[in-house]
Amino acid sequence: MIIYGTGESPFGPCQVARSERGICYLGFSARPENRDPRLERMALGKRLVRADDEIRKLLPEIFTLRPELPLDLKGTPFQMSIWRALLEIPAGATRSYTDVAVASGRPRAVRAAANAVAANPVAWLVPCHRVVRKDGSLGGYHWGTACKRAMLEYENRHRSVVS
């Protein structure tokens, strides 16, 4: 069973899902009342139960700079290595896709690293928003570049609180 719900984040409406093992999905949408297709695919074979109140109780912990909630991530070994590399990027800092590929131990797999970053099911918690193009420009973001920019600005504003 997967419990999911919607709420407000510092970056707009969000949808969060958790299994018995931890948070398995976090996404941002202008229409969070509709289940995201990524959540639908992730939940194949499992019962989805909507519980907005339960999920909203998690939001204050989720949207800190150092959330300590358990995650329930499923991916290939390569994706998992990329997601671990993302977790090593400090709040407010950025790295290029090349940097992430190197940090994962696969320096020549830059394109595959970009695909793994894009496949991250828990935006913010695994900070894919911290990955930028080699020239330092933001590049794309599944939830929009305005959301990506807002996340980086939020981290920079609040970084001194957790340092």
What spatial distance separates the first Cα and last Cα of the chain, rounded to whole Å? 37
How far apart CA 96 and CA 103 sit, in angstroms, is 11
DSSP 8-state symbol, 122: B
How far apart CA 114 and CA 143 sit, in angstroms, is 15
CB 75 within 8 A of CB 118: no
How far apart CA 106 and CA 113 sit, in angstroms, is 9
Is 128 assigned a catalytic role?
yes
Centre a 10 Å sphere on the Cβ of residue 121 and count the other Cβ atoms it contains.
25
Q: Which of 14, 24, 128, 147 is catalytic?
A: 128
Positions marked catalytic = 128
